[in-house]
Amino acid sequence: MANIISDLQIHSSHSRATSKNITFQNLEEFARMKGLNLLGCADFQHPKQFETINLELEEDDKGILWSKTKFPFLWQTEISLIYTDKDKGKGQRIHNLIFSPNKDVAKQIIDKLGSKGRLDYDGRPIFGFNSVELVDMMRGISEDIEIIPAHVWTPHFSLMGEYNQLTKVEDCFKDNTKYIHALETGMSSDPADNWRISALDKFQLVSFSDAHSMWPFRLGREATIFDFNELSYKNFIKAIRTGNGLKSTIETPTFYGKYHYSGHRNCGVVLSPKESLKNNQMCPKCGNKLIVGVADRIESIADRPEGYKRENIKPFVSLIPLQELISAVYEIKQLTSKKIWEIYNKLIESFGNEFNILLNVSEDELKKIVHEKLARVILLNRKGKLQINAGFDGKYGEVILGSNEKVKTQKSLIEF
């Protein structure tokens, strides 16, 4: 086995603000459509989710969970830590991903977390202890448990984001930083952003979707590609801890992320780092502090110029999800509309899965199936040449197409 395309930051229907239609059957269906072949099982510490995992998935002797139709999942959850740092006298908020090597260890994690707070009210529970304690707690159970800080640059609940005001991983994990091997970069930053910060050189960089639904425009929008001879938890943590077997990542363009630029959505204000710093990160309309975006935050910490490449980097590609492209070309805002699904499904039937379409299928082949304007936009996406208005203050970025790249007539929607 090789080229395992994984999305290992998934939420279940038991997490707040998630689709109630997230089932293992739906996750598998849309993961196959997307081109993914490994998912996280999501929120395994939640009592109802743990029960469902045990009913619908079967664990092998390598720590992999399998559906009845042979799709693999990894033991995975995410927890939120909100606490006051005694040294700084300041509140801290961080989301951490937790991976378990097997069911027995997952049970012990559940017991330990359950002794610290309720697990039944949210699939991503909140605890009042810090990240140092989390590492000690997990290592007290098993040294094979892996902890990865999630979406490390977003403003509100992240290791390096604006709220925490931390400038290196050691500020959060102290001496236990030696047990943190990877960082999940989130949608609003990519590996190139992180290469600009020398303090992050020792960490592997991974990307996952943080999906709150099973739709293919959410699931796998960011993914990490592993290269294993055998799918096992042992090979997973080897790749995370050493880079051996970690091949590359699939990103969304950073401008697409909901917190790339600084701004105020209610004021309609969005500012680049240069403009934001010129205004002292204050909103020119209301006078209050902006929601400081990832680009600002990275610029304030970076000790290397844009374009710097650190040694032994893993390659990455940036892609807008296919349904977003169809939406932009046909000017249909509802991504789950019947017309978008018609075009999307026709492409999947013809070329197998979305990643193959976005990365490999030639323009000539695409034109045989879809309108030539959509074919051209798929190629522009592949080459990183789409114009995107930056996301800010919780609002996704927007693909901007010229009139020569749009299809407006109702008739052309059904002309494949």
Residue 139 · residue 198 · CB < 8 Å = no
**Residue numbers of the domain that contains 73:** 4-256
Let me know whether 59 and 183 are in one domain: yes
DSSP character for 336? T
Let me know whether 206 and 344 are in one domain: no
Tokens of 259: 């917190």
Rounded Cα–Cα distance for residues 315 and 224 (Å): 11
pLDDT digits (tens, 9 = 90+) for 92-140: 999 999 999 999 999 999 999 999 999 999 999 999 999 999 999 999 9
Rounded Cα–Cα distance for residues 93 and 291 (Å): 16
pLDDT digits (tens, 9 = 90+) for 304-333: 999 999 988 999 999 999 999 999 999 999
H/E run at residue 271:
strand 269-271
In a domain, 22, yes or no: yes
pLDDT band at 411 (very low <50, low <70, confident <90, very high): very low
Residues 150-154, mean pLDDT to the nearest whole number:
97
pLDDT band at 263 (very low <50, low <70, confident <90, very high): very high
In a domain, 298, yes or no: no
Residues 73-99, mean pLDDT to the nearest whole number:
93
Average pLDDT of the chain, as a whole number: 95
Q: Is the pLDDT of residue 46 over 80?
A: yes
Let me know whether 56 and 146 are in one domain: yes
From 237, 256, 275, give the residue that closes a domain.
256
CATH label of the domain that carries residue 19:
3.20.20.140
DSSP character for 289? B
DSSP codes of every residue in 8-74? --B--TTSTT--TT--HHHHHHHHHHHT--EEE---TTSHHHHHHHHHH-EE-TTSEEE-TT--EEE
Let me know whether 129 and 31 are in one domain: yes
Rounded Cα–Cα distance for residues 381 and 370 (Å): 16
Let me know whether 234 and 371 are in one domain: no
User: Left (φ > 0), alpha (ψ -120 to 50) or beta: where does 176 sit?
Assistant: alpha
Cα distances (Å, whole numbers) of residue 188 to 56, 262, 268: 34, 11, 19
Let me know whether 246 and 342 are in one domain: no
| Number of separate domains in the chain | 2
In a domain, 409, yes or no: yes
Q: In the chain, what is the straight-line distance between the N-terminal and C-terminal CA atoms, in Å?
A: 35
Let me know whether 81 and 227 are in one domain: yes
In a domain, 303, yes or no: no
From 256, 279, 298, give the residue that closes a domain.
256
Rounded Cα–Cα distance for residues 348 and 55 (Å): 30
Let me know whether 212 and 66 are in one domain: yes
Identify the pLDDT of residue 85.
Answer: 87
Let me know whether 218 and 343 are in one domain: no
Let me know whether 11 and 127 are in one domain: yes
Let me know whether 54 and 173 are in one domain: yes
For 97, the 3-state DSSP assignment is: strand
User: CB count, 10 Å around CB of 216?
Assistant: 25
Residue 83 · residue 116 · CB < 8 Å = no
Residue 90 · residue 167 · CB < 8 Å = no
From 213, 240, 256, give the residue that closes a domain.
256
Residues 42-66, mean pLDDT to the nearest whole number:
98
Rounded Cα–Cα distance for residues 75 and 8 (Å): 9
Identify the pLDDT of residue 72.
Answer: 98
